[in-house]
């Protein structure tokens, strides 16, 4: 599940609200053990997602770096290449 949480910092273009929300959702799912919480836990689950999302946005806004911003497309292409190589090696 946490494999779906990707680095959000120091990219051009910056992470979107949607990306931050999806990362927060994946984190809360992993920590809680729920993919979909029961009705009794829905409110607590949604509150946790919102709080993690807010903390993540605050963190990303306050981080400082002197490194050049990374290119999302270049990183995605490298990941696809590594994935293809792993599939070929597994055969």
For the chain, give the mean pLDDT.
91
Mean pLDDT of 27-44: 95
Six-digit token pair at 10?
């120091």
Q: What's the DSSP call for residue 39?
A: G
Question: What is the pLDDT, as a whole number, of residue 65?
Answer: 93
13 has a pLDDT exceeding 90: no
Confidence of residue 2 (pLDDT cuts 50, 70, 90): low
Whether the pLDDT of residue 3 is over 70: the answer is: no
The Cα–Cα gap between 49 and 69 comes to: 27
Domain count, the chain: 1
Answer whether residue 1 shows pLDDT above 90.
Answer: no
SS3 62: helix
The reply to whether the predicted model has a pTM over 0.85 is: no
Alpha carbons 7 and 25: distance in angstroms, whole number: 15
Domain residue limits at 27 = 2-90
């Amino acid at each position: 599940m946490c494999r779906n949480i990707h680095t959000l910092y120091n990219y051009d273009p910056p992470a979107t609200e949607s990306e931050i929300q999806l990362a927060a959702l994946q984190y809360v799912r992993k920590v809680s053990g729920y993919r979909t919480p029961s009705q009794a836990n829905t409110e607590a689950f949604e509150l946790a997602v919102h709080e993690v999302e807010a903390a993540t946005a605050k963190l990303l806004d306050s981080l400082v770096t002197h490194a050049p911003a990374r290119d999302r497309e270049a990183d995605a292409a490298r990941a696809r290449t590594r994935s293809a190589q792993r599939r070929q090696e597994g055969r």
